[in-house]
Structure 1
């Protein structure tokens, strides 16, 4: 305590664990109670400052963790895109198909109210819908003519191959439905399992419509792209047999609104 002719000065230094230096000072005639109160106030302030330091440290840690998570997600997505590119390079006939159907499927998923996390899984599933074709021999995958019964059975196995390939990959567990079930039909006559109706996961039901639409409206070596009116008629014909009626309704509405 520093004494003056007319006043006293008490300075109380405070140092938190974060090494933040603070000095509390009071002037005037100081009795013992006032000095003790100043010490108590300084101790309280130190506690508050330590909590602020702790909050700041937690925030910095959270930001660092978020950045790390974003980098991991980016690495995941780059891996998925790499696989997708490998498929497109192998099957030149359908090159570009994957990105188109992925874009349409993501937009359709948003109309069904899927969450952002679910849409991320759906996007990855759409990108990898034909990943199982890496296990199909070139003599079948690249064959220009019609497949015989044995070849067709091998080709159909690409959905099961996709499931077997992806089921061991943790970050793709929620993305398997499209690669595995996108050839199932609403009436139960699809493959690989023969699921029917709402037993087919909704993402796969959505993708089934999108996949056929893109195939119809894109050029193929054996035919030019169909006009949208003709493709629409084929989609409507499959409503309730090949396709989920609710999905068909939402998809065609989306197409109409975007024209």
Structure 2
């Protein structure tokens, strides 16, 4: 009986994971700019989380949050999400609501309770200048503070239609400049150390530069 219960639980966990991965893939089909974005960040977020002492359950919550961090963009109109030029103020107001859209959609799902820290709060900033709630400092959940740095790193070190990817050195310098302003200084310190360690031990380019 115990084995049957364990097997059923594992099957349920696998079904949850498959559903989450499907939602993430659906979003990337709709939002061309984010294609490959979530997958690239999964491993890096996990490595940073481990470095900061997260246990396996916390790492799982972090992973689900990474996969679903932009799910609220499903509620953003195509005309805004795929606009070729810069957004106007009204369009930015709508775009900045995507964490709230995600919270409204997913917050009542018990399985995603831990992941909501990333989904709802990954655009909050250390100095309180972020959105949607203007959280400040350690009011921002740790998962979100970890992912915020990985999210910006991925954006900076990959090509965008409006600019070329930054070098590792330039991107690291930016994160260090923004420590204590946009980002948690302790998380920045751990992230910089992680990247520098990998640069020294890996003879090939990291995945985010390939």
TM range (shorter): over 0.9
Q: Which position in structure 2 is the counterpart of 1:174?
A: 114
Give TM-score scaled by structure 2 length. Answer: 0.93
Offset of residue 168 of structure 1: 1.6
Partner residue of 2:12?
72
Higher relative contact order (CA 8 A, sep 6+): 2
Per the alignment, residue 232 of structure 1 pairs with 172
Cα separation, 1, equivalents of 2:146 and 2:64: 14
- Listed as ranges, the matches of 1:19-58 within 5 Å are none
Q: State the alpha-carbon separation in 1 of the partners of residues 38 and 73 from structure 2.
A: 13
Worse overlay, 241-250 or 225-234: 225-234
Q: Residues of 1 paired with 2:147 and 2:90: CA distance?
A: 26
What is the SS of the residue equivalent to 2:53?
coil
2:187 pairs with 1:247:
yes
Are residues 1:99 and 2:39 paired?
Answer: yes
Q: How far apart, CA to CA, are the structure 1 residues paired with 2:140 and 2:177?
A: 20
Deviation at 1:249, TM superposition (A): 0.3
**Alpha-carbon displacement from aligned partner over 1:108-144 (angstroms, at most 9, x marks no partner):** 1111111111111110011100000000000000011
Higher strand share: 1
**Most deviating of 97-106 and 75-84:** 97-106
Two-structure CA RMSD over aligned residues (Å):
0.8
The CA distance in 2 between the partners of 1:209 and 1:88, in whole Å, is 20
Farther-moved stretch of structure 1 (189-198 vs 220-229): 220-229
1:110, 1:101 → 2: CA distance? 14
> Which of structures 1 and 2 has the bigger CA Rg?
1
Q: In 1, Cα distance between the equivalents of 2:93 and 2:122?
A: 16
Offset at residue 213 of structure 1 (A) = 0.3
1:82 corresponds in structure 2 to 22
- 1 CA distance for matches of 2:105 and 2:62? 17
Query: What is the deviation of 1:257?
Result: 1.0
Matched, 1:130 2:96: no
Structure 2 gaps of 5+ residues are 200-210
- Corresponding residue SS for 2:179: coil
TM-score normalised by the chain length of structure 1: 0.75
Select between 244-253 and 62-71 the one with higher mean Cα deviation.
62-71
Task: State yes or no: 1:62 paired with 2:21.
Answer: no
* Aligned partner of residue 90 in structure 2, secondary structure: helix
Q: Does 1:158 align with 2:107?
A: no
What number of residue pairs does the alignment pair up?
Answer: 199
What does residue 193 of structure 1 align with?
Answer: 133
Once the two structures are superposed, what CA deviation does each residue of 1:16-37 show, in whole Å capped at 9, x if it has no partner?
Answer: xxxxxxxxxxxxxxxxxxxxxx
Find the aligned partners of 2:177 and 2:92 in 1 and give their Cα distance. 24
Q: Which runs of 5+ in 1 are unaligned?
A: 1-60
